[in-house]
Amino acid sequence: MAVGGSLDTFPKLLVRNAAQFSSRPAFRHKDLGIWQTWTWTQVAEIVRAYAAGLQRLGLQRGDTIAIVGSNRPKLYWTVMAAQTLRAIPVPVYSDAVADELAYVLAHADVKFVAAQDQEQVDKVLSVSGLVPHLHKIVYDEPRGLRDYDHSRLVAIDEVIEDGRAALAADATLGGQIDDIIRQGEGSDISIILYTSGTTGASKGVMLSARGCIDAATDTVRFDRLTDNDVALAYLPLAWVGDHYLNYAQGLAAGFCMACPEGRETIEQDLREIGPTFYFAPPRVFENMLTRMMIRMEEAAGIKRRMFTYFLGIARRHGESILTGKPVPVSGRLLYALGRLMVYEPLKNALGLSRVRVAYTAGEAIGPDLFEFYRSIGLNLKQLYGQTEAFLYVTCQPDGEIYSDTVGPAAPNVDIRIAESGEVQFRSPGMFVGYFKDQAKTAETLTSDGYVKTGDAGFFDDKTGHLKIIDRAKDVGRLADGTMFAPKYLENRLKFFPNIKEAVAYGDSREFVCAILNIDPAAVANWAERNNIAYGSYQELAGNPRVYDMVAKDVAEVNRSLAEEKVMAGAQIRRFLILPKELDADDGELTRTQKVRRGFIAERYAPLVTALYNGSYEADISTEVTFEDGRKGVIAARVKIRDLQISRSTESLGKAA
């Protein structure tokens, strides 16, 4: 099969991989207790048959096909098959509720939907009335669907079989498919990813094939990824990170994408697969560390002392050893011993033994956390980006890793800081536009073709790396003019293990207040050890000793803010602990776990009022949605605490 020109579409890459990496594993999936493997040759054959089958069902160039489910080989192959036919895949978050799903399906005007299982099929059917052009639903797992009306429903396996049979029967069909692949151009839209906006409705980000592939090829080179690498695909299919890090890089480098068995087995599967490339948002790393610490505290004395001692060694020498800097021989020896006894077993238990490169992004990561993982030998780096960039805007190169920056510009990416402090960029992977929304697209691009990220940031003098402060529109001013960057404060608060989530308010107000969520695992553990009885999260959240403990953490944040000229005036004056965990299902967080400050302020208006009028308690009563969809009400009397403001050696600064 001759493929014309350079490799500027994913189908062409697949063909190349089948030729070049033919028997290397391309996909793995744990099914029925065993890891099944498909090689590149097998995948290419399956995708070709699948594309033929889809074509026979009526999928054509330019059509949109939605994909809803978790990471499964058949769903990834749906993306590939759609791209083969120059149709456009539109992945949707699998935990989207019916309304969200309906919006995306209707907006993208999909003709086809690929659903993972009965649950997703049910959701799609329930909103199918709102999707006028929906023609067929193809599904992966047949369980429970036996008795459904199959006039619009068909199993993916059947589609593939049908395609195979058709290819075998008709010699020209294969040639037709190959022609379509050949005709694919770099400017084709290879995927539309809907961003979950913290405000407003989702927008469909259109990405071009050439853009995706160029960007992926650059980072593959940057991180030296090859066909020998393995990644665990466990983050949502609909998220740009998964499409970039697993799919695009996977096709570009030829490495293996492993799909876990299910959500509950991700940890075990991670251990079993031992990926060489790993990405997780900061909270995952946090959770891993918290769990580890909890277990350590229950271990025998000797083990604990050994653990603490060697972690100290790691803290001193780990980073230097990781980046190849000089270290005294005694340090090296101790570190090697530590590796044998502590670091490697630790990484093994987390499944991270073989990881060569690990990235984190999305939220700021606590410096302690970051340094911890690096000190035990995990090459953890930060990147910064957004869907509109096809992920990477910056990434940290080996040797220049700092916990408080996101790194210099990624290869071939051009970054500048606007007058307003907003970060703007131009990159090979940048989006083509928002689907069916020319106006928004124009708003997001500057006249000279730079994308406005909407984030405020600056380049650090010492390192030349980019530092992100907050969402530009969220950066406000207090009544006295001091800069108020809520996310900056919230991140500082969340670094403490007891605080899981924080929401800061202060724009146009006299001072800064915070609504906090305690971390259930860490605080429950502390309560057990201190013999504090509680019957529910609400009770624990309201306990005065818990408040004392949290107050100390907030005071610590205030102290560190006091040392920063610009931020000193933004210390947190009052706070309260919310009796309920903030939840995406209640609309308080986005699907990517970012806080929606405006929504929360409205929902808990009585609390915000009480915070600012000096009251020491307030009553709230809110409706909540349980996991099975039922509604209930949480009512509570919430206490509010004051804090002392720290003074620094310098006087308070005002915004310039």
Which residues contact another protein by CB under 8 A? 32-34, 143, 261-262, 264-265, 268, 628
Between 149 and 264, name the residue whose CB sits nearer to another protein: 264
Between 229 and 269, name the residue whose CB sits nearer to another protein: 269
CB of 32 to another protein, least distance (A): 4
- Give the single-character DSSP code of 260: -
Find the angle CA(566)-CA(359)-CA(561) to the nearest 5 degrees: 15
Between 141 and 501, name the residue whose CB sits nearer to another protein: 141
CB of 258 to another protein, least distance (A): 15
CB of 100 to another protein, least distance (A): 25
Distances (CA, A) of 374 to 69, 79, 144, 235, 395: 33, 35, 46, 22, 16
Between 74 and 500, name the residue whose CB sits nearer to another protein: 74
Between 69 and 318, name the residue whose CB sits nearer to another protein: 69
651-655 long-range contacts (CB < 8 A, ≥24 apart) are 652/482, 652/568, 652/569, 653/482, 653/565, 653/566, 653/568, 653/569, 654/480, 654/481, 654/482, 654/569, 655/477, 655/481, 655/482, 655/483, 655/566
CB of 262 to another protein, least distance (A): 6
CB of 350 to another protein, least distance (A): 17
124 membership: H or E segment, kind and range: helix 118-127
- Give the single-character DSSP code of 117: S
CB of 286 to another protein, least distance (A): 22
- Give the single-character DSSP code of 472: G
CB of 157 to another protein, least distance (A): 16
Hey, which bits of 408-511 come out as E strands? 414-417, 422-426, 433-434, 451-459, 466-471, 476-477, 483-484, 499-505
Between 34 and 633, name the residue whose CB sits nearer to another protein: 34
CB of 121 to another protein, least distance (A): 17
Between 31 and 510, name the residue whose CB sits nearer to another protein: 31
Residue type for 260, please?
Answer: P
Find the angle CA(499)-CA(505)-CA(509) to the nearest 5 degrees: 150
Who's near 367: CB < 8 A, 6+ residues apart?
403, 404, 495
CB of 137 to another protein, least distance (A): 22
Between 271 and 594, name the residue whose CB sits nearer to another protein: 271
CB of 119 to another protein, least distance (A): 12
Terminal Cα-to-Cα distance of the chain (whole angstroms): 64
Between 141 and 470, name the residue whose CB sits nearer to another protein: 141
Between 269 and 581, name the residue whose CB sits nearer to another protein: 269
What is the arrangement of strands in the sheet containing 451-459, beginning at the earlier edge strand? 414-417, 422-426, 451-459, 466-471
Hey, which bits of 309-368 come out as E strands? 357-360
Residue type for 481, please?
Answer: G
Alpha helix stretches (DSSP H) within 460-506: 486-494
